[in-house]
Structure 1
């Protein structure tokens, strides 16, 4: 007898290992009853079983038997068998792709059978939380079933680097991939404190400011804005009898301006003269060329009978 072995057919048409003879047994097999003559039983019958070793775990092989006698030979049909599971030896690193400032998509591929070495029971997605010391600590963020090949990790910080690994488990053991890095997208900075002012002399101020507590992105470009003190108080609605303080501004009601009237880009607000002890605010609305400007007078609380300047 001879035994031949080959690997299962792959998608590319190859077989690993290729077909080869792995066992041979010779002898004399007589269908007649064993006689007492020593000459007739000089050869023992050939073996009809054997054990094949040094195979790969969880790998499919095909076998056939060749039987030969003095009249000729015949091959059996091929039959396949699979070895038992073993500890997995490799898991590819995942791919990490940013989706938003607060989420990353982690995806991975199912490893080949010759490295998984068993039925995949599931995957665990791990984020590495500490890298500046040994040993490296990781935290499991999700347990995936065998058919799942991606997961969206949420609740992350903007513009931050994260390292992920994938752990593959079969019925025997687990193996963890090398880490892959991904960075969340940038977001607007947060928690910016007011600047610090330091008077240098009568005409110069030195202004200092700190970075936002949460940058959430690359180092920002700072824009310093100045607002006149006359605009620093909270705006209030204009009401009859309310004194205009002169160091702020008012929000006039919509009924102040004429309805259904087209105006140019400019509205001139003038603080007019003191008349009979009462202050009169004149809103002069510049209209299209060739038309007389319309004006609306708003009476405020009496003030001193002098002409004052007010900033709007």
Structure 2
């Protein structure tokens, strides 16, 4: 109290403290996949110790463990961070450091792998014909499998038809196909997340096969009012798919005499001309898809009468 009897104001003092650095090592850094978000990792850590109420900034850095792009850095004052725009099913090296000014503690690091995703398309290497009307297909694993490949679906289409099968392998032989037929083949891969897009198509053509050894229903009939002709028809050769079949027609008179001949066609009928009127001919038909013919299937036919 002063001499005048007034109360003196209290004395004040200002102190300055140095902002403390965090403890040099962070603890419990975890980088975990985000389910069904294959481009993300969720990173969390325990708070830096020894900083009181000082604001702590955390620096998060990441890079793929294997060679490639995808490195980055982020900052936060919270205790977690979601890294985005990553590659699916890829392991990243993730580090966290803390700072209360511009100097950061040593990095505390861990590895984390992103979740699976649907795979990219495979690449078909070859579609080759194999015996017994088959095609052997081989393909490469997708450049970006995006997870563990569980199986492949092979689809083949032809003439407006489609069929498919599933295999865990990188090769497959399709069987019981049509001979001499071109098939378009695609392959797509699957992970636990489902199927990815189809590969680009590749075509293959099955081998030629010989016809069934015996033709059926060969008929040689007279042509009314055309006494020099016989009309011959037959059912198509079986078991040849889309192979081009050439039919060989041979004829000769049953009784001795001239008039034998041979003709070829790819149709299912043929008119023999320049024959003798009212004459019985022995007519045979054979089929081939190359140079070897089936055994002849034969019948007899007689030309029409003539007025002379």
* TM-score in terms of structure 2 length: 0.50
Give the C-alpha shift of residue 67 in structure 1: 5.4
Of 53, 61, 84, which residue of structure 2 is paired with 1:53? 84
- Deviation per residue, 1:235-265 (Å, 9 max, x gap): xxxxxxxxxxxxxxxxxxxxxxxxxxxxxxx
Tell me if 1:153 matches 2:174: yes
Is the Cα contact below 8 Å between 1:101 and 1:186 reproduced in 2?
no
- Deviation per residue, 1:121-173 (Å, 9 max, x gap): 11233334773xxxxx74333x312xx11111112221123333334221122
Aligned position for 1:169 = 190
Secondary structure of residue in 2 paired with 1:204: strand
71 and 150 in structure 1: CA distance in 2 versus 1, 3 angstrom threshold: closer
Determine which structure has the larger helix proportion and give its number. 1
Secondary structure of residue in 2 paired with 1:224: strand
Q: Answer with 181-190 or 209-218: which moved more.
A: 209-218
Determine which structure has the larger strand proportion and give its number. 2
Structure 1: which 5+ runs fail to align? 26-45, 132-136, 232-312
- Deviation per residue, 1:176-216 (Å, 9 max, x gap): 51544322111123446525343688983345445734454
Structure 2: which 5+ runs fail to align? 1-57, 257-308
1:155-304 correspondence runs (5 A): 155-178=176-199, 179-190=201-212, 191=215, 193-194=217-218, 196-198=220-222, 204-209=228-233, 212-214=236-238, 215-216=240-241, 218-227=243-252, 229=254
Task: Return the index of the structure with the highest Cα Rg.
Answer: 1
71 and 57 in structure 1: CA distance in 2 versus 1, 3 angstrom threshold: closer
Is the Cα contact below 8 Å between 2:154 and 2:188 reproduced in 1?
yes
Aligned position for 1:294 = none
Root mean square deviation of aligned Cα? 3.7
Higher relative contact order (CA 8 A, sep 6+): 2
Distance 1:201 1:49 in 2: 101
Counting matched residue pairs gives 195
176 and 94 in structure 1: CA distance in 2 versus 1, 3 angstrom threshold: farther
Aligned position for 1:102 = 133
- Deviation per residue, 1:7-54 (Å, 9 max, x gap): 2324xxxx122x44x1135xxxxxxxxxxxxxxxxxxxx555422123
- Deviation per residue, 1:203-233 (Å, 9 max, x gap): 83345445734454543444332355369xx
Distance 1:169 1:72 in 2: 47
Distance 1:98 1:88 in 2: 28
